[in-house]
Amino acid sequence: MAIIDNAVYVDGRRTADPASLDETYFVLRQREGMAWIGLYRPDADELRSVAEEFDLNSLAVEDALAGHQRAKLEHYGECAFLVLRPARYLDDVEKVDFGEIHVFVGEDYVVTVRHAESPDLARVRRRMEAMPEFLGLGPDAVLYGILDQVVDEYEPVAAGLENDVDEIEDDLFDGDPEVSRRIYELSRQVITFQRATSPLVGILQALMAGTPERQPGPELQDHFRDVLDHVLRLNERVASFRALLQNALAVNAALVAQRQNDEMRKLTESSIAQNEQVKRISSWAAILFAPTLVGTIYGMNFRTMPELDWIFGYPMALSLMVALGIGLYWTFKRNRWI
């Protein structure tokens, strides 16, 4: 059912529970009270019935049907159209679930169009009905109750995000390769949460100032101001989360670069050590190759080689081998290859 709750109030007290919207309109005109209609994902026909009865702006009705709106406050004559982005923290997946609620407020009606499970408007209704004198102030009192509930439900979200930020700070120096992805995902949630909360400052200030068609009384202004104080503190808290995540991302980048530099230094040291080993092996190979080269040349036994018949040929070949080995050893030793 699209109609979650539907009642007519007179002097802040619930006097009727109509079974249909048409009955609500009839009782409202008859008793000259205030109608509070709660809708959950209504279809076009259901919302069109409300729009025709209360002469709602067609653009606002279209926004309420389509959803996916930013938090805002718009005035259409005596009707105020408010969009809020409630949120709740999901502990099992450590993510923030954002909803959307549209509120139409007129002289004698409040129509809420909810597109998510939060906020708990039944709780708002019970709270307002327990204060008939305050509810008797009219639709703006209901609007205050909705705003206060939305802002109150932001507190557990802020606490959950704060806990996630603390966990990321602990994971920074553990070398977790997934920490960069967690920082990015948490930053997206914080930014989306900030987009939901920051417009409330201007919205509440506009509600306190009122319009020529509707001026809130001193009591309502005090209540709106109290919600504004909560929002200001919440925005400061969320801004600190964003700053901490930016710092965490910078620190993580520095740590990753440092680890990469350490790995490159180790690879360089290993390469240098390998080069030294190659130099030593190559040096000894050259030293051993020189006598082998001499022995190979004189081992060919050509008839035209004059040294074959020379009496000093054999000592000369041995001396040449030793001399080449000593010369190469001295050269490599001087160049610190061995």
Buried b (16+ CB within 10 A) or exposed e, 55-87: ebbeebbebbbeeebebebebbeebbbbbbbbb
Going through the chain in order, the beta strands assigned E by DSSP cover 3-10, 13-16, 34-40, 72-76, 79-84, 87-90, 95-98, 101-105, 109-114
Q: Which residue has the tokens 């009955």?
A: 23
Residue 256, Cβ density class (10 Å: 0-12 exposed, 13-18 middle, ≥19 buried): middle
| Helices (H), ranges, 90-138 | 121-129, 132-135
**pLDDT reported for residue 139:** 93
92 backbone dihedrals φ, ψ, rounded to 5° = -65, -35
pLDDT of 56 strictly over 80: yes
Confidence band for 251, pLDDT divided at 50, 70 and 90: confident
pLDDT of 101 strictly over 90: yes
Pull the structure tokens for residue 158. 């802020």
Look up residue 277 and give its amino acid.
Q
Mean pLDDT of the chain: 86
pLDDT above 70 covers what percent of the chain? 95
Pull the structure tokens for residue 302. 């050509």
pLDDT above 90 covers what percent of the chain? 43
pLDDT of 192 strictly over 80: yes
pLDDT of 191 strictly over 60: yes
Residue range 194-213, pLDDT digits in tens: 999 999 999 999 999 988 77
Pull the structure tokens for residue 58. 């067609």
**pLDDT reported for residue 302:** 64
Confidence band for 74, pLDDT divided at 50, 70 and 90: very high
**pLDDT reported for residue 112:** 94
Confidence band for 301, pLDDT divided at 50, 70 and 90: low
Residue range 4-30, pLDDT digits in tens: 888 999 999 999 888 888 899 999 989
Q: First-to-last CA distance in the chain?
A: 90
pLDDT of 146 strictly over 60: yes
Q: How far apart are CA 104 and CA 75, in angstroms?
A: 10
Pull the structure tokens for residue 249. 């991302």
- Looking at 53-67, 143-157, 221-235, 324-338, which range is the least confident one? 324-338
Output Rg (C-alpha) for the chain, integer angstroms.
Answer: 42
pLDDT of 1 strictly over 60: no
Pull the structure tokens for residue 112. 């809420």
**pLDDT reported for residue 9:** 94
**pLDDT reported for residue 303:** 66
Pull the structure tokens for residue 234. 């919440």
Q: How far from the centroid of its chain's Cα atoms is residue 152's Cα?
A: 21
